[in-house]
A and B are shown apart, each in its own frame.
Chain A
Amino acid sequence: MSIRMLPGMAAPEAGAAYARVKSPGLDTTHGAILYLEDITVSFDGFKAINKLNLDISVGELRCIIGPNGAGKTTMMDVITGKTRPTSGSAWFGQTLNLATMSEAQIAHAGIGRKFQRPTVFEHHTVFENLELAMKMNKRVMTTLFARLDSAQLGRIESTLRLIRLNGQERRLAGLLSHGQKQWLEIGMLLMQEPQLILLDEPVAGMSDAETARTAELLNELRGKHSIMVVEHDMGFVTDIAQQGIVTVLHEGSVLAQGRMEQVQADERVIEVYLGR
């Protein structure tokens, strides 16, 4: 199934070079959209993150796995400005230091995060949810007189198809299943056109069929967006990692990194997952 391209987006090819994805307004000349350098976060002496180094390329779909308490959510909090690193620096593109920016500034600069629990507008239709999320001037008067033009309608339409909710755009979001709400949430994230998408456990609480469809969805986004997925579900990670890099976090730093089958074969990874 092919998706209609969003305007201004490079065509995806099988194994397309990641660097083809444009990141307007963000200096990604060296190909990295996110670069974490020696990040340490300590809460009263406990180091939730310990000298973490991680970089994500433009257009990459990176999976982050790790046992409970590995620091996955704390890392997301650092990237979105919710938590300040005790030391180290976090770079978005070449020039933006996330450690010095507020949450709102970071969101505005183009990092979108999907939380674990879906929070769609339940009394609005699917269509209206996407419309509200769409990137545009969000002041009072422009909102009052806003009319959707055909390009914007096209964007909503292609997003609807992408998140498998086409034909259901008139449904109230509150009537959707849990999985559909998660997809709508991802769709709303896409409508905001973030440069980097952070997904925190996107398949938590989903049925097997929904999980499989979410994997399909993320595979379609591969190469078109820079995405970071944090997930527990190993089967799901195997489905979406494909030949991409999987990072295993353990006790606040990177334990192993590589293709899925490589990290799965890694002795240390097996030990932290199974050894206790």
Chain B
Amino acid sequence: MISSFPVKQGLFSRPVWCAIVACTVQAALLPLCNLLFAEGHALHVSAYTVGLVGKFMCYALAALALDLVWGYTGILSLGHGVFFALGAYAHGMYLMRAGQAAGSVPGFMQFLDWKSYPWYWAMTEHFWYCMALVVLVPGVLAFVFGYFAFRSRIKGVYFSIITQAMTYAFMLLFFRNETGFGGNNGFTDFRTILGYSVTAPATKAVLFLLTLALLVAALIGARTIVSSKLGRVLQGVRDSEARLMFLGYNPLWFKLFIWTLSAMLCGIAGALYVPQVGMVNPSEMSPANSIEMVVWVAVGGRGTLIGPILGALTVNGLKSWFTAALPELWLFALGLLFIGVTLFMQKGMLGVADSVRLRLARGKPAEPVAAAAPAEEGA
């Protein structure tokens, strides 16, 4: 009897594990093919493609982070872009300083007639300090913001609107030149990272592989969290917060935990994004960017972790194609996509895949359909 209890389940089913490994290996081959095969070779992958996929993987990591709060905990954030951008800026501070000659300040500071770095730039010449900022700045902001919002029991659409306002406020702040982060131009013109050239193909390959590794690690880590008891409590928050309080859980700390963790993950995604794209500016904090993140999650299928990753890759792939082929139509396509997903595939791409699998399973009654209909057993 006890052996049938659903306590010891793997993180993913075997086919899903195989798919994850296959995709990871295939992705890892991209930068290697770029380095090993000369241009014109059949197996050569262009630097452009490597950069593009690397960027998409950063978006995928952000989408994964957003799914933890939206898909599993039911907290819709329309301001996750701010965490992404803060992570990007934190890393950008190091990259800016690494490219400066000793004793000089970046151009935008010279314009302001600043002779030395302001106090909040202290220590940013140290790589590890900036890496700490990458997680701490979004983490602390999320913690403080979340504490007051969740303690005041702000929920649903009201919470979403406040997050939107927050990212907008930060965008305005960062647009100001006097803020000391380069105003509307942001940071660009990076030269070196830890002594290596940022633009060298080998550096790009390392950054790509690092992004890939962190994405896979984040997926496995997130999956571990959502399949723990804490994950079930989070889903309880999503479905019936009052009932959970009645059982003796304090939703405040559970929400705060996942919200802060998600912001930190987003910060890491932003930090990986900066050196690969070569710039960061306040438009990363524009409300539209955060909404686009929500679209990735919705398209892929929220509450699935893998779905948002696929969604981020698909939507951004489409975006790249559209902005090259039919640039003026992209926003219409994005809007239509979101409406279509909301109306016709509420569980996203993975939901569609699931129902197709269900239909196939039903078509073959000889095969056991345990996976499709576990609810009916033992009735």
Contact = CB atoms under 8 A, between A and B. Distances in A.
A192 B247 contact: yes
Contacts, number: 87
Interface residues of A, number: 37
B375 A170 contact: yes
A159 to B, nearest CB: 12
B375 A172 contact: yes
Contacts of B247: 132-133, 138, 188, 192
A38 to B, nearest CB: 30
Contacts of A171: 374-375, 379
B124 to A, nearest CB: 32
Interface stretch (A26-34, A47-55, A67-75, A143-151): A143-151
Interface string B1-15: 110111100000000
A170 B229 contact: no
Contact of B232 (A132, A150, A172): A132
A128 B225 contact: no
Interface stretch (A6-14, A86-94, A117-125, A196-204): A117-125
A172 B246 CA distance: 20
With most chain A CB atoms within 10 A of its CB, the pick from B7, B247, B254 is B247
A172 B376 CA distance: 10
Interface in A104-140: 107-108, 119-125, 127-128, 131-133, 138-140
Given A108-B248, A169-B6, A121 B239 contact: yes
A138 B246 CA distance: 12
A252 B378 CA distance: 47
A210 interface: no
Contacts of A168: 378-379
B147 to A, nearest CB: 13
A124 B236 CA distance: 8
B236 A132 contact: yes
Interface string B247-260: 11110011001000
Residue among B6, B233, B244, B248 with max Cβ neighbours from chain A (10 Å):
B248
A153 B2 contact: yes
A140 B5 contact: no
A50 to B, nearest CB: 30
Contacts of B25: none
B331 interface: no
A157 interface: yes
A140 B253 contact: yes
B375 A167 contact: no
Nearest to A152: B7
A5 interface: no
A121 B243 contact: yes
B377 interface: yes
Given A108-B248, A138-B249, A157 B377 contact: no
A166 interface: yes
A169 B239 contact: no
Given A124-B239, A125-B6, 4 more contacts: A119-B243, A139-B253, A143-B254, A166-B1
16 contacts: A119-B243, A121-B243, A124-B239, A131-B229, A131-B232, A132-B236, A132-B244, A132-B247, A143-B228, A144-B230, A156-B5, A157-B1, A166-B1, A168-B379, A175-B375, A192-B247
Interface of A: 107-108, 119-125, 127-128, 131-133, 138-140, 143-146, 148, 150, 153-154, 156-157, 166-172, 175, 188, 192
The 5 closest A-B pairs by CB, nearest first: A167-B378, A144-B230, A146-B229, A143-B230, A140-B253
